Structures are given as C-alpha cells and as structure tokens.
Chains A and B, each alone.
Chain A
Amino acid sequence: MDKAAAPPDDTAIRLRGLSKTFGSGSTAVHALRDVDMTLRRGEVVGLVGPSGSGKSTLLKCLGAVVEPTAGRIEMGGQAVFDSASGGWLIDDLRALRRDRIGFIFQAPYLIPFLDVTDNVALLPMLAGHPDREARARARELLEALDVGHRLGVRVSLLSGGEQQRVAIARSLVNRPPVILADEPTAPLDSERALAVMRILEEMARRYGAAIIVVTHDEKIIPTFRRIYRIRDGRTVEEAGEGRSLGP
C-alpha cells in the first residue's frame, strides 16, 4: 500500500537530491550525486553524457530497479521514493513499473514468442485488464504508430524500425506519466533516428507522457529543447537547440 500521497499537478517526474553510491568506505563509487530534475507531461528531454557518467544508474533508479542512496522521486505529483521516509514509498515496485513507467531500450527487446499485438497487449493484461480491452488498446497504438498492418505477425519478421515502433507502443500502452528511453536510436541511421524522435515527440504530446531519452547520439541531440548533461554523477540542465523534426 502507498505510504504517501500528494495532489497531482502537471509535473510528470521530479527528482530532488538523488544520489546513488555503490559500496562503502574507500571503495565507494558515487554513481549519482545530488541530481535534480523536473519533467512536465508531454515533454521530451535528453539525458546526455559519456560512458560511465551515471546515465544507466539514473535510469535504473527512475525505473525502480535500483534503490537510490538518498534523495526523493515524485511521479505525477506523488512521492514514490524518499530516503528521509525510509526509501520506497510504494510497496509493489513491479506495479509501479508496469503502470507508471514505460521502457524503451536500445534494442527493441520484444518477446520473440508473441506476435505484435500481444507484445503490446501483455502489459495491460499483466495489470489485470481483460484480454479484449488490452488488445484493443494495443491495436489503437500500433495503428497510430503505422504498424497496424502487422498486428498478427511474429515480431522476428518485422524490420528494425517496425520493431522499435512496437517497442514504443508497448511503453505507452498503460498510459504511464514517464517513459524511459535508453538510447533508442543507437542502432539506426540518421533518417530513422530522426523518425523515431518524431514519433516520441508526437506520442509525448498525444498521450501526455514525459520522455527521458538517454543518448550520446549526435544526430538527435540537437532536436531536444532541454538537455540534462551528466558527468561523474552530477547533472547540469541546459537549453537544447530544439531543432525541428519536420512533418
């Protein structure tokens, strides 16, 4: 049961003083140091930094698979983690990930033994929605992402771009306020990378999700309006170029 509740606002996610330290004493590694971050609904923000800078650790903390050492995380105006209150304020972290966080990975990581529709419908089914409703939701999203003609196809038969769009549909299907995208354009050429960014922008706008895109892909960095640069576990917010992604 949730131990904390707060009135919802336009903020999708807010981090305050988030830190993560692995180990202790002389061998301690400070992966995150006092990270502050705020994302509004419908916003796509870049998280940029070199390898080992703490991007993945931040993503894992936000994804509720690694517990921060200190700080506070709010999602949709509700505190879900507060070190001052003892850590996670949500008992069921699986349900938190399932219902409030969407994940997009570098590779699509679709479930190979499910078809396109069921790869997306699986999440609402896991959340207890009836199969018919879950599949209807999945179809709606897949059609919005231009893969509606591949609904019953096994995912291994899709092109790389189609698989990535299915993965995006999966991240959106439970209408989470936050989507964590871990280098979603890394394996793609410029044209396809920009196409994926266009889709993310549109989906964020349409479904009101805040999307954090972890990347060091120079092709897409200029498209962000806001960027968090991370180095040695510290983040610095800066304005992006917000270059147009075209129609």
Chain B
Amino acid sequence: MISLASRDIGHHLGRFVFTGVGLGLLIGVTLTMAGVYRGMVADGRAVIAASGADLWVVQQGTLGPWAEPSSVRDDAYRALAGLPGVAEVANAAYLTMQVPVRGRDVRVMLAGIEPGGLGEPAQLVAGRPLLRSHYEAVADEAAGLAIGDTVRIRRHEYAVVGLVRRATSSAGDPMLFIPLKDAQEVQFLKDNDSLVAERARTAANPALNRPGIPGLLDAVLASQNAGRSVNAVLVRVAPGYPPEEVKAEIGRWKHLTAWTRADMEDILVAKLIATSARQIGMFLAILAVVSAAIVAFIIYTMTLNKQREIAVLKLIGARDRSIAAMILQQALALGLIGFLVGQLAALVWAPYFPKHVLLEPGDALRGLAATLLVCAVASLLAIRAALRVDPADAIGG
C-alpha cells in the first residue's frame, strides 16, 4: 500500500523541511534548557565527589557550606578526629565573591583548603596542586586564568599554580582554591579601617575598659582578633564504618550537624537548585506547549489545504483510519525532523553557553518520546477536521 504521508511530504519537501528546522530550533532550546539543569546538578555532584569527603560537618541546624551560612570554630576538627570511624578531617571555607581577572570581574567560588588534605581539587589539567600555606591558587579554567597569572583577592595577590576543569559551583561559578588560612582571612578578617574603628569602639565602652582592671581591654581586643572560624569540617570515614553511624555520633555528642554525601546531593538538588529547576521546568512546559501549538497549526493548515483531496480519497473508498494515519505520520515525521535538528543545534551551541550544558542520552530519548507524543496529540485537531470532511464535497456544488 502506498504511504500517502511520505508521498505528501515528498511533494512539499521544501516547506516540510523548512518547518521542521524551525520547530527543531525550538526543540533545541528545550533540550538545552534541560541540559542547563543537568549541568547544574552534575557540577554540584562533581564538586562533592571531588572533595573526597564522606561527611560535611557544619554549624548545628544548618544545611552546610553551600546552601546556608555555617560557622564552625576552626579547632572543632580536633574533637572530630578522635571519634571512632573518623580516618581524616580537614577544615574548609567557602565563599562566593568577585575577583578581577584581566581587567574584568569574574564571579568565583573561593574554596579554602588545607594543602594536601581533604577538599583538594581531584585532578589538575595543568600545573601543580597547592603546596605553600599562603598566596597560591588553583583555578578552574573557566575563570579565564592561566598558570603564572596573579589574581588579587582583597589585600593579597595570589599566584595561579594549577588549573582544574569542571570545578564549578552549582550556580556555574568557577572555583578558585586557595590555602585555608588565606580563605579565612578573606572571609573573616576586617579591613584596617574597620579594625581601627572597632578597637576605638571597644576602648570607648566603659564595661570593657575599666580603669580598675588593667589588661581587660587588651584581653577583649585579643579575643576579638583571635577567634577564627571555618564553614565546614570535611571528614573521611575509615573503611568499614558506615557514614550514617559516624554522622549520628557527631550529631549526638559534638553539637554540630553532619551531612553525608547523599545528604549533600539531596540538599543540592532538592534545595539549592530547586528554584532554578522549577524555573527551567516552567520553561520546558511553555516550550512544549508552544511546540505543540506550532505542530498543531502547521498540520491543521496542511490538512485544510488538502480538504478536496481528502474528500476525493473518502469518496473513492479510503478509510478514515488511512486518512488519520496519513496526518498522524506527517505530524510524527515533522516531530522527528524537528527533534534531529534540535538535537544537532543543541550539540552545536551548547559549548558556547557560559554555564555547563550537559546533554544526556537519556534526556535525548525522553525528548524524542515527548516530541513524538506532543506531535501525536497536536495532530488530533487536524485528524478531527479531516474526518469531518464530507465525501459529498467532491461532487458537484
């Protein structure tokens, strides 16, 4: 039996392909939006995995270093190191800030780590890891820095000694690893003017500067400057110890909150990027509706243009299902062309996006299924119109 759909497509090939390309660009945007979401999740997971930690210990009742502010005394790690099942601990500090790179501001996630300890970037693509305790940096290549560059962060200049790839926050900001002490200074140390003003304010406070108690003011000032905090303590669990047990121990005895790797991934996906995911989900829904409307409009118009032929086909004995199949197949073919063009377009333009766009084969398959489903649904209007064509319209007036 002749495939009426393929013959009709062949008859209007140019128009059909042109329409498919237009639809494909729309589908390409849809796939890219899904890729942006996947990229956010993948980047977040990559950073979690690359740290080498099994547990993130943070301020009690907070969600951890990336989702909420967390302040933990920097000597808390000692108490954690003594717990059963803890193999290694390391302080870590994280903050997001703007740094000047070659005359422009780049937003980075600054990670303060102890050189050689947990939290270090896993694999360098160039240079070496941090070895000194101060003024060195390892940067994600997306920051636009090269080995040998210097980057100014607050008061000090840092020499870039290594580069990593795909070390970005879930927001897409490239990471800049510096020694922990420097990161603590960047995060917690005030500028000189603020320090002078703070000291003057303390000295002017009669409760803290009592004439009858010599040395009190010096002690207060010393305590103000000596207190150092970190955002989290990274913990590697010894083999044979379930992280959940160690987590429970920390929660019970140390007045801190610990999160496992699975918890961190959950926080990342369910909380940190949940709003972005909903935003993207809305875009996907709107794009799906727009795509369906376009397919429906095109197929409906094509069907209306064939009303006389459909009337003749019905008159000479073509069954409704043959005519419906012709329209459905055309809609599916349009969707298939659109999907192939969209997939190609997404592959071509994804590398140029500022954020990581991760195009997963599973998403492509789901996208194909969704496209075909949308096209099938969109063809219903045209099929309905075709089935209402009266074969008598082919005869006389």
Q: A residues bordering B, Cβ < 8 Å?
A: 51, 55-56, 59-60, 63, 65-66, 94-95, 97-99, 103, 105-106, 109, 111-114, 118, 121-123, 125-127, 131, 154, 170, 180, 182-183, 214
Contact in complex: A103, B392 (CB < 8 Å): no
Chain B residues whose C-beta falls within 8 Å of the C-beta of A103 in the assembled complex: 312, 315-316, 394-395
Decide: A59 and B314 in contact? CB cutoff 8 A: no
Contacts A112-B309, A118-B7 given; does A60 touch B392 at CB 8 Å = yes
The smallest C-beta distance from A245 to any residue of chain B, in angstroms, reads 25
Complex: A98 Cα to B396 Cα, angstroms:
19
Q: Which residues of A contact B312 (CB under 8 A)?
A: 103, 105, 109, 111
B7-A113 in contact (CB<8A): yes
- Please, which residues of chain B bring their CB within 8 A of the CB of A114? 2, 4, 7
Chain B 299-327 interface 0/1 with A at a Cβ cutoff of 8 Å (1 = within): 00000000011001111111100100000
Partner pick for B395 among A56, A94, A118, CB 8 A cutoff: A56
User: Does A109 contact B318, Cβ atoms closer than 8 Å?
Assistant: no
Contact of B397 among A56, A95, A121, A170 (CB under 8 A): A56
Which among A66, A112, A125, A170 is the interface contact of B2 at CB below 8 angstroms? A125
In the complex formed, the residue of A with least CB distance to B1 is A125
Residues of A with C-beta under 8 A to B266? none
Chain B residues with CB under 8 Å of A111's CB are 4, 309, 312-313
For residue B294, give the distance in angstroms from its CB to the closest CB of chain A: 22
> Closest CB-CB distance, A68 to chain B, in whole Å?
13
B6 closest partner in A (C-beta): A113
B395 touches A65 (CB 8 A): yes
Known contacts A113-B8, A114-B2; decide if A126 and B394 are in contact (CB<8 Å). no
In the bound complex, what is the Cα–Cα distance between A114 and B8 (angstroms)? 8
Number of A-B contacts (CB under 8 A): 86
Taking CB atoms, residues of chain A closer than 8 Å to B11 are 112-113, 154
A111 to B394, CA, bound (A): 12
Does B316 contact A182, Cβ atoms closer than 8 Å?
A: no
Cross-chain contact A123 with B316 (CB below 8 angstroms): yes
Which residues of chain B are within 8 angstroms of A183 by Cβ–Cβ distance?
396
- CB-based contact A109/B394 at 8 Å: yes
B395 touching A126, Cβ below 8 Å: no
Q: Nearest 8 A-B pairs (CB), nearest first? A: A98-B317, A56-B396, A113-B11, A65-B392, A113-B8, A113-B7, A94-B317, A109-B312
Asked whether B88 is an interface residue with its Cβ less than 8 Å from the other chain, the reply is: no
Contact A118 B2, beta carbon cutoff 8 Å: yes
B74 lies within 8 A of chain A by Cβ: no
Query: Considering the chains assembled together, what is the distance between the CA atoms of A125 and B318 in angstroms?
Result: 10
Q: Which residues of A contact B7 (CB under 8 A)?
A: 113-114, 118
In the assembled complex, 13 residue pairs joining A and B whose CB atoms fall closer than 8 Å, in A order, are A63-B315, A63-B392, A65-B315, A65-B390, A94-B317, A97-B315, A103-B315, A111-B313, A113-B7, A114-B7, A123-B317, A126-B1, A131-B1
Asked if B242 lies at the interface with its beta carbon under 8 angstroms from chain A, I say: no
Q: CB of B22 within 8 A of chain A?
A: no
Task: Please name 18 further chain A to chain B contacts, defined as beta carbons within 8 Å, in addition to the given A94-B318, A182-B396, sorted by A numbering.
Answer: A51-B397, A59-B395, A63-B392, A65-B392, A65-B395, A94-B317, A97-B391, A98-B316, A98-B317, A109-B308, A111-B4, A111-B313, A113-B7, A113-B10, A113-B11, A118-B2, A125-B1, A126-B316
Contacts of A154 in B (CB 8 A): 11
CB of B318, distance to nearest CB on chain A (Å): 6
A51 to B317, CA, bound (A): 28
Min distance, Cβ A136 to any Cβ of chain B, angstroms: 15
Contacting pair A97 B316 (CB below 8 A): yes
Q: How far is the CA of A60 from the CA of B314 in the complex (A)?
A: 13
Give the residues in chain B near A65, CB-CB below 8 Å: 315, 390-392, 395
Please indicate the chain A residues that have their CB under 8 angstroms from the CB of B313 in the complex.
Answer: 111
Chain B residues 1-41 with CB under 8 Å of chain A are 1-2, 4, 7-8, 10-12
Q: Which of B11, B314, B322 counts the most A-chain CB atoms under 10 A from its CB?
A: B11
B98 to chain A, nearest CB (A): 61
B394 to chain A, nearest CB (A): 6
**A99 vs B312: C-alpha distance when bound (angstroms):** 15
User: Which residues of B lie under 8 Å from residue A180 when comparing CB positions?
Assistant: 395
B12 neighbours in A (Cβ, 8 Å): 113
Identify which of A66, A112, A123, A214 contacts B392 (C-beta below 8 A): A66
Check if B317 sits within 8 Å of A97, measured CB to CB: yes
| A99 x B317 contact (CB < 8 A) | yes
Judge whether B394 and A105 touch: CB under 8 Å: yes
CA distance A114 to B7 in the complex (A): 6
What's the least CB distance linking A120 to chain B, in Å? 11
Known: A109-B308, A109-B394. A94 touches B322 (CB 8 A): no
Interface pair B317/A60, CB less than 8 Å apart: no
A106 CB contacts on chain B under 8 angstroms: 396
Name the A residues within 8 Å of B2 (CB-CB): 114, 118, 121-122, 125, 131
Distance between Cα atoms of A203 and B9 in the complex (Å) = 34
Give chain A nearest CB distance to B15 CB in angstroms.
Answer: 12
**Residues of A contacting B395 in the complex (Cβ-Cβ under 8 angstroms):** 56, 59-60, 63, 65, 103, 105, 180, 182
Chain A residue at smallest Cβ distance from B310: A111
Complex Cα distance A160/B369, Å? Answer: 45
Q: Which residues of B contact A123 (CB under 8 A)?
A: 316-317
- Closest B residue to A115 by beta carbon equals B7
Cα A63 to Cα B314 in complex, Å, equals 12
> Would A170 and B316 count as touching, CB distance under 8 A?
yes
Contacts of B316 in A (CB 8 A): 97-98, 103, 122-123, 126, 170
A114: nearest chain-B partner, CB-CB: B7
Chain A nearest CB from B137 CB (Å) reads 66
Q: Within the assembled complex, what's the spacing in Å between the Cα atoms of A109 and B8?
A: 15
Is A126 in contact with B392, judged by CB distance below 8 angstroms?
no
Q: Is the CB of A55 within 8 A of B396?
A: yes
- A141 CB, nearest partner CB in chain B, Å: 15
CB distance from A128 to the nearest CB of B (A): 9
